[in-house]
Amino acid sequence: MTGNTDFDLFQISEDHEALREAVRSVAEDKIAPFAADVDEQSRFPQEALDALVAADFQAPHIAEEYDGVGADALATCLVIEEVARVCVSSSLIPAVNKLGTMPVILGASEEVKSKYLPPVARGEAMFSYGLSEREAGSDTAAMRCRAKAEGDEFVLNGQKSWITNAGESQFYTVMAVTDPDGDRGRNITAFVVEKDDEGFGFGEPERKLGIKGSPTRELHFDNCRIPADRMVGDLGEGLKIALRTLDHTRVTIGAQAVGVAQGALDYATAYVKERKQFGKAIAEFQGLQFMLADMAMKLEAARQMVYVAASKSERGDADLTFFGAAAKCYASDVAMEITTDAVQLLGGAGYVKDHPVERMMRDAKITQIYEGTNQIQRMVMARQVLKG
């Protein structure tokens, strides 16, 4: 795993750089102007969705055969990074579209792929992911949501918690126990649930510290009947597919963390060059220069880890589990540190909403928590190390 001597692990091509410029232009012109209001009003960033759809950036990972643009994993990370640089809530549109569709891409039949991937690729629908429950967070195998087979249908009962973009998405990949007496973790199956399915509903939006523009709600299933042909993968394979999904999508959370950290560093750097104390710009003081140097150094290390992990995701490398966890864990820890330091560099100004760094600090916190807490990431990494 750590003995790879191939140092050409990723390469940023001219196409990647052109993509970054294109996404940055859209983000700065069409998304950034609304970021503060989206946060203040806790409203879905419709302007961002419209802009991303117009540019085909809302789900760039979907293959061309399903009406997508077929962006590779690194390109998808670049999209998420650049959007997160100005608005983390908006970056959850492409990130969660990948999270929701990845089980379908990895495990579904051709019929399910052909039905559900094209609408997302065309920007006609979004796709969310239902794994966690109130009593089954890190311990995903402890879930209680049930799916009982009845003829050519399954009947779902239970709930899912902390579902990103719930209520806005049209489709949901949902994990449910199909064999209550079966082996733990091997008795869970994945299904696609549609927003208008009878018996499917949503809880009230959560009131959150950050990412306020991305609705987080519970999913409720009350005798929700869905056709059996909406199964993703085989019976009992749901948790395996879910964990394979996270190997890939943790990389995108790393990209999100890199993006918000870059946004905070950019803003803080511009501020300290303009702010004057004791007759000169505070950027001239060595103590602040050391802070900026550490911020930039750690950010670049995090970016390199994310890009390597993205390339491993694209290739399906055997050591993706370690690198995906490492990229997500390190980048999110760095993002929390950099955004906090950015607030410090602005002093009192950093603590008020006139400047975006306080929002960036609040938004960065979630990257250490969702898609597996960083404590869980360290467990995942340690297991891989011990396997050799």
Phi, psi of 248 (to 5 degrees): -80, -40
CA distances (Å), origin 75, targets 18, 158, 180: 10, 37, 41
149-177 pLDDT, tens digit each = 999 999 999 999 999 999 999 999 999 99
Crossing angle for the helix pair 320-346 and 357-365, nearest 10 degrees? 150
Alpha-helix residue ranges (DSSP H) falling in the chain:
14-26, 32-41, 46-54, 73-84, 88-107, 110-121, 238-274, 286-315, 320-346, 357-365, 374-387
- What does pTM read for this prediction? 0.96
Q: What is the CATH number of domain 240-387?
A: 1.20.140.10
CATH of 14-121, one of 3.40.50.10490, 1.10.540.10, 3.40.50.720, 1.10.150.80: 1.10.540.10
Q: Quick one: pLDDT band at residue 9, thresholds 50, 70, 90?
A: low
- Which of the residues 133, 218, 358, 371 is marked catalytic? 371
Asked whether the predicted pLDDT for residue 7 surpasses 70, the reply is no
Domain boundaries, the chain: 14-121, 127-237, 240-387
Output the pLDDT for position 211. Answer: 98
Q: Would the pLDDT of 1 be above 90? A: no
176 closest CA partner among 218, 221, 139? 221
pLDDT for 2 equals 46
Confidence band for 10, pLDDT divided at 50, 70 and 90: confident
Which of 185, 313, 177, 311 has the alpha carbon at shortest distance from 244?
A: 313
Average pLDDT over residues 379-385: 97
pLDDT, tens only, 197-248:
999 999 999 999 999 999 999 999 999 999 999 999 999 999 999 999 999 9
Q: 């750590």: which residue's tokens? A: 2
What pLDDT is recorded for position 45?
98
Q: What is the pLDDT of residue 6?
A: 47
**Over residues 259-272, mean pLDDT:** 98
What integer pLDDT is reported at residue 5 of this predicted model?
Answer: 41
d(CA 244, CA 224): 26
3-state secondary structure of 247: helix
Residue 196 has pLDDT above 70, yes or no: yes
DSSP one-letter code for 29: I
Q: Tell me whether domains 14-121 and 240-387 share a fold.
A: no
pLDDT over 90 percentage in the chain: 96
Mean pLDDT of 134-139: 93
| Cβ within 8 Å of residue 18, ≥6 positions away | none
Sorted by sequence, the CB contacts under 8 Å of residue 290 that are 6+ apart come out as: none
Whole-number Å distance between alpha carbons of 261 and 48 = 20
Domain 127-237 -> CATH class: mainly beta
Catalytic residue status for 371: yes
Mean predicted lDDT score pLDDT of the chain: 96
